[in-house]
Structure 1
Amino acid sequence: MKMEYQNISNSSLFARASVEELVSSTVLGLCCALGVPGNTAVMVMLAQHLKEGSFTPKLMLSLAVSDLLSLIFLPVWIYALLNGWVFGRGLCKLLSYIVYWSLYSSVLSVTLLSVQRFLQVLYPQRWAKLGQKGQKGLIFGIWISSGALGSYALYFRNVKQKMNGLLECHQDYRNNPEKLAVLLVETLVMFVVPLLSLLFFYLRLYQRIHQSASFKSHRFTKLAVRIVVVFFIFGTPCMINNFVLMALSWKTAVSNNITGALFFINSCVNPFLYAFSARTLRCRRKQHLDEPQHQNETE
């Protein structure tokens, strides 16, 4: 009888979950199952290259850490989607802040990686002047900036009862200007500016690769295209949802569970894009360092 009662209770819980919540929880579960071990493996692999002094492994390690932080608490959010938020107001704010902090850090790390490659290829002397301290300062600046950008979660996140009776940890705006300000920051910092930066810097690199005999390989070009395409595919639905929310009345309840879940796929895919391309990036750097010597010999 007890087992039968438990089965009935579990069935009723899942019956109360909408199709949207089931789809969102499935996507988040896959992201967690693939992204957590993937980013952990990346961190272990990159830790072996930190002593080399290269900036790329350090930045990729920062990216892996931020992606891992955004994914490691997904089981909590999956449980909350299906059963309601039962962890209290304090954890609602804290875990939301960690997620936003890590997502901003991940996006800024991807953007900085494109800037780094752009400067190393086209302006190597300027990049060399930055030095080890300057490089550490850039990574430190990413985490400080991301922490500041995501701090609004500590203020706006709150626990509220949904129409089905379950509690929900969500953004609780008091008025329309607050909602517009937050959504505008998210759209610009998490999507518009990074996407334009990726397109600009990688298109310039693409031109440099095809103009120089030292960059005959198309492996780096393919990597750059994958980065932009993945970022655009999984970031666009969430940002379109933000535009819809900005256009509607602030009292209108529009769910963004599915589009938000898709955005986490970036954190899941990043280790596969960057970790397996680490050798390619090192090869490109070695070719670039050998280029001045080759030019001097020909002269």
Structure 2
Amino acid sequence: MEYLNISNSSLFAHTSDVASSTVLGLCCVLGVPGNIAVLVMLIQHLKEDSFTPKLMLSLAVSDLLSLIFLPVWIYALLNGWIFGQGLCKFFSYVVYWSLYSTVLSVTLLSLQRYLQVLYPQRWAKLGQKGQNGLIFAIWTSSGVLASYALYYRNAKKKYGRLRCYQDYTNKEEQIVVLLVETLVMFVVPLFSLLYFYCRLHQRINQSAFFRSHRLKKLVIRIVVAFFIFSTPCMINNLVLMAMPLKSAASNNVTGALFFINSCVNPFLYAFSARTLRCKRKQHSDQPQQNQNETQ
């Protein structure tokens, strides 16, 4: 996913740089305040025993980290890299780390709801220590998965300007990196989301607690949003693995679309948690109302 590469001087490449910068700029303007607002809201619920606010806080932090350095990359797209070799590696590592953490957090949030609905006793056995350990595992594994950026990212002169880009020594190295990105960031999360939510859909139809058309639509939006914004980038990865092409323009455009997830996630999952809390409250209040009616 070489979405930070800089294109050549052709008209098409220049247009792709401008388009990518525009998308990244919108992501930064909308996503940074949105994630900060979600962080402020979630911090108030950290004292609760619920695991969802903690995981959503982790998701918001990872999304914020992926977006907060976008002005640097926008400037580099339009003017070239001027921040040196060390910052090239550091900023790249932080972005990849946060993107891996975002994808894994989304997957874990789906797994959590799947277990809470279908296997609540198993989930309860984890306890707070086990649940906190899952969040720690997300950030640790994401840091390990993103470590290749420290090696392959280099600031070198390309197309007349200094660029910070993924500098592979051979095609085999590129294929291995792209394969890992495609599997971890797309294939495994997508099929996990589809499996978890298909099973939840069955329970929705069987349980009065989850019999909500509004909740069904939310589940569909979560899967569709992930699929729409990540598919172009992963298709680009597959093309790069299959064909010996170097198209920085396609990398920039598809990579910019991937960042839109970081804008959408906080709103989708914040609303999702609120919806589930309302449903739980209605479900818990219903027996009390029935009892009052019988009296």
Q: TM (normalized to structure 1)? A: 0.89
Correspondence 1:47 to 2:43: yes
Between the aligned partners of 2:242 and 2:48, the Cα distance in structure 1 is 50
> What residue is the counterpart of 1:93 in the other structure?
89
Q: Residue 209 of structure 2: which of 211, 214, 220 is its match?
A: 214
Q: Residue 275 of structure 1: which of 270, 282, 285 is its match?
A: 270
2:246 counterpart letter in structure 1:
A
Between the aligned partners of 1:17 and 1:186, the Cα distance in structure 2 is 24
Between the aligned partners of 1:288 and 1:159, the Cα distance in structure 2 is 57
Deviates more, 1:140-149 or 1:221-230: 221-230
The alpha carbon displacement at 1:276 in A equals: 2.4
The alpha carbon displacement at 1:210 in A equals: 0.4
Q: Residue 264 of structure 1: which of 259, 262, 274 is its match?
A: 259
1:261 counterpart letter in structure 2:
A
Between the aligned partners of 1:214 and 1:281, the Cα distance in structure 2 is 10
Count of aligned pairs? 278
Q: Residue 79 of structure 2: which of 83, 99, 103 is its match?
A: 83
Correspondence 1:56 to 2:52: yes
Contact 1:85/1:166 (<8 A) preserved: yes
The alpha carbon displacement at 1:182 in A equals: 0.4
**Cα deviation code 1:52-75 (max 9, x no counterpart):** 110001000000000000000000
Q: Residue 173 of structure 2: which of 167, 171, 178 is its match?
A: 178
Between the aligned partners of 1:171 and 1:218, the Cα distance in structure 2 is 45
Contact 2:209/2:280 (<8 A) preserved: no
> What residue is the counterpart of 2:135 in the other structure?
139
Contact 2:25/2:71 (<8 A) preserved: yes
Q: Residue 254 of structure 1: which of 237, 247, 252 is its match?
A: 247
The alpha carbon displacement at 1:254 in A equals: 1.3
1:114 counterpart letter in structure 2:
S
SS of 2:47's partner is helix
The alpha carbon displacement at 1:281 in A equals: 2.4
1:229 counterpart letter in structure 2:
V
> What residue is the counterpart of 1:7 in the other structure?
none
Identity among equivalent positions (%) equals 77
2:200 counterpart letter in structure 1:
L
Between the aligned partners of 1:169 and 1:264, the Cα distance in structure 2 is 18
> What residue is the counterpart of 2:123 in the other structure?
127
Q: Structure 2 matches for 1:220-235, cutoff 5 A?
A: 220-235=215-230
Contact 1:235/1:263 (<8 A) preserved: yes
The alpha carbon displacement at 1:129 in A equals: 0.3
> What residue is the counterpart of 2:155 in the other structure?
159
1:195 counterpart letter in structure 2:
L
Between the aligned partners of 2:282 and 2:154, the Cα distance in structure 1 is 52
The alpha carbon displacement at 1:280 in A equals: 0.8
Unaligned 5+ segments in structure 1 are 1-12, 294-299
2:91 counterpart letter in structure 1:
L
Compute the RMSD of aligned alpha carbons. Answer: 2.1
More relative contact order, 1 or 2 (CA 8 Å, 6+ apart): 2
Between the aligned partners of 1:48 and 1:143, the Cα distance in structure 2 is 22
Between the aligned partners of 2:57 and 2:103, the Cα distance in structure 1 is 14
Contact 2:209/2:279 (<8 A) preserved: no
The alpha carbon displacement at 1:224 in A equals: 1.1
Q: 1:88 to 1:203 in 2, by over 3 A?
A: same
SS of 1:50's partner is coil
Contact 2:85/2:154 (<8 A) preserved: yes
Q: 1:193 to 1:287 in 2, by over 3 A?
A: farther
Contact 1:214/1:291 (<8 A) preserved: no
Contact 1:121/1:288 (<8 A) preserved: no
1:130 counterpart letter in structure 2:
L
> What residue is the counterpart of 2:3 in the other structure?
none
**Cα deviation code 1:69-121 (max 9, x no counterpart):** 00000000000000000101100000000000000000000000000000000
Q: Structure 2 matches for 1:31-42, cutoff 5 A?
A: 31-42=27-38
> What residue is the counterpart of 1:4 in the other structure?
none
Q: 1:221 to 1:253 in 2, by over 3 A?
A: same
Q: 1:166 to 1:200 in 2, by over 3 A?
A: same
